[in-house]
Structure 1
């Protein structure tokens, strides 16, 4: 009771807490880059300041702004290898792969060394699907730094892309041993092991990843996929829905939910999920056919026709899809008024009965003489 009374009293020296307006609290690389504006305005030819602001802008996710600073710095000093390396990073960040490789070559020619350069070149070749060149540069990285987890990780992805799954898993496990808290490595391991039909091992990596990152939709998908492979489809569907709630770009979750909806004869759910999945990956097996049939079952004939035409384009000469295009097009045309029809409408008419010509009149037989 004494403690309660004491707690209720407020001394004259005490002041109530004031909540901090979080909108006014700013930090991070973007703010740090902006803080250099005044210094650069006073010394516009200071290469070190321009390079520092470019580095901060890259870290803040502003690669185009970084390129502007780098271009200004290169006009002042075009022999600085570090500037070309920064330029290569910025080009890679905006997806200009050939420009990134060209800048990386300039960095090497101007004396930039260290494992960061071949690592960047290897990852850029990997993004360009030039797997031999990617592996060469990643090996060069590992010769300079044998414990570089990123190089091991990218080597794993390169081997996975060339269908050497066992080697890919080995390199990814080596990368995980050096960086056990990197959830992207755990996702790739779980994904590959599911694809390799080893769901029990995939479950272990996916579960660990979910504990480390409670917001990853990809890891929820991985965990759901191993449940499906182990014969627990209802639990798998729950994780697929959870994956999409966390990240709507996980198109494989949409794909699996669409397949399940088709099996359950739920065309509206098929349309909902497979439209999104095909937008991100147009080559998902069976997805376009199921979507076309779902549109047709819902009498959304123009949309069904568009999907059937795409199936014909993807499968030239397929009699089934060609017939579907003809049939659905006829139904679409029949539903339109004459002014909107793209082709003539042919009405069915009962054929006229054949006109039978009467047989010629035969000559009468002559009468006998005895009559």
Structure 2
């Protein structure tokens, strides 16, 4: 169904080695099998479109674009080619180009529900939620039980903080496609955020049965355990989530918070710094990182984060003081030739010597007459 295209989390997965000798067919192999036919008929539009479709399925959008452009040189009024072009641009995250190609597909008569679904999902990726909902509603008018449209409507409402409506649409999507792990992840994630861990646990557990390699679902299951007070078990699932998928930055964040409570500065630095690389706006994360770097005497790194905290919180006297104090400590560690500010040595202020009070003059001797 391709639900992960607009997922709010990074969609990377660790590379998996596949024994190509056991793969008798598949999009990439089938695309390569068309090379000979196209060498004989290089201007066969149908073959070019077929190979482009297979290359999209094989996650080769740039190669697909090459075939699509060659086919458009043969026939620039084929709506299906523009739809394929929109899909390729979307796969490359070129959102405006994808929308432009989709408009051309519509102008030349493409009328299937796939087109407004693609447009709606692309607007969702661009955070244009009103346009996304309009196109997803158009999709559902053409295909009322389209699970992807229901799913993306759920994501759109979640992004606008309408959690109740979001959960309803995600549950409707799950009813149409009950074995889709991505729907189960989003439901578990939202219900955890809504502080309903018992319901979240049910969806996360089912999702882990369907996809044993999902780091996101492991995180969801760990989060509901934490919300229910099972801290040690939650930390195990967070570590498992990172073992499966290093991009699950929320697991790093939760492990960093736990390390801060346990006064483990090295672990705090390791987890929080990785989490911030994925999301720079995590609550309290940068402050924790800066303070633990300072505690470990990594002053230059701490100073860089304190400066970012000042930029994020203008007028905050605490972070301004931290920048001044840490900057002074960094400068004090440098030799004079490398200092950017002059070194001031303490000198005891001069005080004039105290004068003894003047003694009264001795009396003059009396003269005898």
Alignment TM-score, normalising by the size of structure 1 = 0.90
| Cα distance in structure 2, aligned partners of 1:279 and 1:37 | 42
SS of the residue aligned with 1:141? helix
Counterpart position of 2:134: 136
CA distance in 2, matches of 1:320, 1:28: 59
Q: Distance in 2 between matches of 1:370 and 1:116?
A: 137
Q: Which has the larger radius of gyration?
A: 1
Pick which of 245-254 and 28-37 moved more: 28-37
Counterpart in the other structure of 1:8: none
Instruction: Pick from 328, 331, 346 the counterpart of residue 329 of structure 2.
Output: 331
What CA distance in whole angstroms lies between the structure 2 residues aligned with 1:368 and 1:42?
Answer: 145
Is 1:318 aligned to residue 298 of structure 2?
A: no
Q: How many residues align?
A: 351
Is 1:24 equivalent to 2:24 in the alignment?
Answer: no
The CA deviation at 1:76 is: 1.0
Q: Give the deviation of 1:110 after TM superposition.
A: 0.4
Counterparts of residues 80-119 of structure 1 (less than 5 Å): 80-119=78-117
After the TM superposition, list the runs of 4 or more consecutive aligned residues in structure 1 that deviate by more than 6 angstroms: 357-371
Query: How much has 1:353 moved relative to structure 2?
Result: 2.1
Alignment deviations for residues 106-140 of structure 1 (CA, whole Å, 9 cap, x no partner): 00000111100000000000000000000000000
2:242 match:
244
Greater shift in the superposed pair: 127-136 or 42-51: 42-51
Partner of 1:64: 62
2-side partners of 1:277 and 1:22: how far apart?
34
Distance 1:368 1:222, change over 3 A: farther
Aligned residue for 1:284, secondary structure, equals coil
Corresponding residue for residue 149 of structure 2: 151
Report the counterpart of residue 251 of structure 2 in structure 1: 253
Helix, strand or coil at the partner of 1:163: coil
Spell out the pairing of 1:1-371 with structure 2 (5 A cutoff). Answer: 22-26=19-23, 27-354=25-352
Deviates more, 1:344-353 or 1:150-159: 344-353
Structure 1, gaps ≥5 residues long: 1-20
- Alpha-carbon deviation of 1:37? 1.2
1:305-330 CA-to-partner distances (Å, cap 9, x unmatched) read 11111111111111000110111111
State the match for 2:6 in structure 1. none
- Equivalence for 2:11: none
CA distance in 1 between partners of 2:363 and 2:145 (Å): 119
Match of 2:15 in 1: none
Q: 1:40 Cα deviation (Å)?
A: 1.1
Q: Distance in 1 between matches of 2:62 and 2:363?
A: 111
Q: Deviations over 1:1-56 (max 9, x none)?
A: xxxxxxxxxxxxxxxxxxxx945344311111111111112111111111111111
Residue 139 of structure 1 aligns to a residue whose secondary structure is helix
For 1:262, what is the secondary structure of its paired residue? Answer: helix
2:14: which partner in 1?
none
Per-residue Cα deviation, 1:246-286 (whole angstroms, up to 9, x for no partner): 11100000000000000100000001100100000000000
Question: Displacement of 1:368 after TM fit?
Answer: 11
Q: Structure 1 residue 339: deviation in Å?
A: 2.0
